[in-house]
Structure 1
Amino acid sequence: MSDHFWGQLPAGLLKKTARGWMRLDPGVRKLVAELARAQNFKCAFCDETRGLIIEHDHYPERGSSDKLTVYNVRGLACAGCNWHLGMYEADERGDYRGFDDAFIRIDERDFYPYAQAYEHRVLTLIEEELEQRMDPVNYWRRRLFLQKFDEREWSRNYPWPSYFGEIKRRRRMMIRTPEQFWEAFAASVRFVVEEKRRNPDFEIPEAFIRVAVLVKPIIDEVWPQIEERYRALQAGKPEQIAAIAAPAA
């Protein structure tokens, strides 16, 4: 006997049977139904609408990957995309042992928003659980303390940075708005430029390069719209900048 979440899914959408569906945790069933709607009842990476697999993280932030949980379910993918996704992640880890010229149809442009949405959801879930378990005063003290790590210049001068590597790692996906993303990216650029200036042998982090590769096409596309403002900033003409930024009448 299936539940009402199963009834919300189009027939044949999932590879899983109704009996297998009922073996899942109720929270997982609810999450899968939500993901199906968010993906418009098709694969997260293509237009396939039948036989989708409940794809999960094999290295989750919490719990194990032995069974499906709300902490490791990432989305719904067809068999082909699920296979290519596994190859992509193995290649990123350096574990891929396939042919050198094998074609992997999942790339970073596909994977990054998919993984970001998953990590944001899981970290938000963990944060909500902490808020329920902790004393309200201690919880908000902790939140305010962690918030300081969003200020890159402050965190670089903190006397015990090595103790907070894990905290900063867990915070890396907690960007909720485009403004926060661009602020974080600008801070990362300043960090790389300063480190390169201080140490010519400094190796630019691979993570920064991957993000820069994604951002460059966006900058190239909008450059004709922002070039005039950029020139004004370079020339230091605040009146001209204000006129450019003002909305049209």
Structure 2
Amino acid sequence: MITKYCLFITLICLFSFNSVYSYKDYYIDRVTGEELGSDGSKTNNLRVIDIREWNYVIEEKGGPRSISGIQELHKNSYVVTFDENQIQKEVQRIADDTMKEGLENQVFIVLNVNNGKVSAVRDWIPELKTNKEIIISTYSVGRNSAPRVGEGLMLLGQLHGHPKEIQENKRNVRSVSGFDIEVAKELGVTIFAVDAFSSFDVFESRKSKKGSKSLHIHSVGKDGKTKNFIGRTFGKKGVNTFNFSNYFNLILRREYRVRIL
């Protein structure tokens, strides 16, 4: 005989199981980057789509959970994919170049809305480099547009190195700067800062080019909240290397919670 207590526990377990394994594709708007909703498919992909296609399915195809609606959405959207290896290599180069030059170098982490690929794009403009702060040039493509840094390239985040402080009366602070916080809030993206200066706990990386260091990464979100020591650039045996793909996958799904390392 099943008691009320046992039945209650069973229902909780079933509810938890369904919550964890609730598969469906999520959709984000190619202009704003905002989540539009989910469909009734059996996969768990993140997709980018034109909001007009989304609205068409709602109006003419029985909604995103109907069979014809799902087919239409899949036909007119791109699955978002992440090139983590390419992103890690560019991040390491930024850290290495900042340490070598004593100037802030930056890289953009972008979503190409024309094919769904997330990758890192290096900013090569030499005149924008200083040892204090760096300029991010963006533009919009419509009302409430997420910032763009190139054709079809939606800016998800920016990463830059903090070089060694050269003034004798100042020292490096292992965190993002006040300027980083303001930029993150203004652009509505995550800003990452790498400690690209000598410290007591850097070590040789076995995964990047010879002479590279595993350096601490800090971040500030669009809400202005800072998180220090969230991970590292390429680390010894991959220990504590920050995973940008996981981070932005959850950010785009509005499910991210940072874990301090």
Shared fold (TM-score, shorter chain, > 0.5): no
- Decide which structure has greater strand share: 2
Larger Rg: 1
Bucket of the pairwise TM-score, normalised by the shorter protein: under 0.3
Please state which structure has a larger fraction of its residues in helix: 1
The TM-score with structure 1 as length reference comes to 0.22
